[in-house]
A = this chain, B = another copy of it.
Amino acid sequence: MTVAVLFGAQSFEHEISVVSAIALKKVLKSDIVYIFCDYYRNFYLIPTDKITSKRFSSGEYKKDKLLYLKQGGFYAKKMLGEEKIMFDVMINLVHGMDGEDGKLSSMLDFFGVPYIGPRMEGSCISYNKLFTKLYAKEVGVNVLDYQVLRKGSGASIKIAYPFIVKPLRLGSSIGIGIVKEEKELAYALDVAFEFDDSVLIEPFISGVKEYNLAGCKTDMFHFSIIEEPQKDEFLDFDKKYLDFSRTKRVNEAALDIKAEEGIRDAFMKLYDPLFLGALIRCDFFVIDGMTYLNEINPIPGSMANYLFDDFDRIIKNLSKWLPKSITIPKEYRYINSIQAAKGK
């Protein structure tokens, strides 16, 4: 099997995606075709044996084959005509904007490229923290209390101190701040509003236990181990960045069976059917024995490979269970009937 890995793009997490893509080389046993989207949103075919982070930071990639996306897939121009880049399935590994906000999944669906990754709806719901809350509540998964604040609205905050301020969109802790008392508020809002016109405010619960579970569904659910990530108040961007290059197995969280079941149950409610075709990681809090969704990562760093025993096998399996698009009959029933009526 040949797996194409799509990475980069116009995103604050562009670099994370580069590191994530290189990490996959160690864990995928399939042949890999690397398709890089640069900050300017041009696509390039990167030789698999020459992929290094420096190739991108130095701009050397610009000498690689320029690709364009059209009906059927990615193509390179040749002296005469064009050449289709061949692969069995693509992994959308673009973190943050473009990748997780639904743009690239929309394009892959439109142009008929089979891919592992969240579809447009799953992207939209998980990328916007308000929509995530509404969706989680609807499917019966607990969330922390929250308030959305729009830039310049002047609305008063109803969440008690301490709380967390997050840009409404984006991932990877960018622009997030903990506000312990009023004097810290203005700065935290300034930072968060740099990244979004709306922010989400949530209670900050000191010392809360966080648990990460990744998984996907084929004919059945496949779960990773449940990890308790190390935390220093919360993972900031620099720490998460290091996290993204991980390829080693981590230690399983010490949880009783009931708590584990609660986490897996919440995962299943969130996943099916919205995230079919994707391998996602959900981050939960457990508070007083209750499971709360923190966030859904529909394209986790290096695909959370380090949480799985046999990551390669799961990717191969998932590639056979991608959701099918609805087929539209190609017909001109109304226009033809009008034409026929006119002809009488």
Contact = CB atoms under 8 A, between A and B. Distances in A.
A138 B132 CA distance: 12
Given A103-B110, A273-B150, A56 B134 contact: no
Contact of A57 (B70, B120, B335): B335
Interface string A130-156: 110011001000000000001000000
Given A41-B71, A326-B97, A328-B97, A335 B53 contact: yes
A54 B335 contact: yes
Nearest to A197: B273
Interface residues of A, number: 60
Contacts of A197: 273
Contacts of A206: none
A326 B195 contact: yes
B111 A338 contact: no
Contacts of A111: 41
A220 to B, nearest CB: 16
A334 B241 contact: yes
Contacts of A338: 53
A204 to B, nearest CB: 23
A101 to B, nearest CB: 7
A97 B325 CA distance: 11
Given A40-B71, A53-B338, A105-B106, 15 more contacts: A10-B328, A12-B328, A41-B112, A53-B335, A53-B339, A56-B332, A57-B332, A97-B326, A102-B124, A103-B109, A103-B120, A121-B131, A131-B134, A197-B273, A238-B334
Interface of A: 10-12, 14-16, 18-19, 39-42, 53-54, 56-57, 68, 70-71, 97-98, 101-107, 109-112, 120-121, 124-125, 128, 130-131, 134-135, 138, 150, 195-198, 238, 241, 273, 326, 328, 330, 332-336, 338-339
Per CB-CB distance, the 8 closest pairs between chain A and chain B, nearest first, are A57-B332, A106-B106, A124-B124, A39-B330, A134-B134, A103-B106, A53-B335, A57-B335
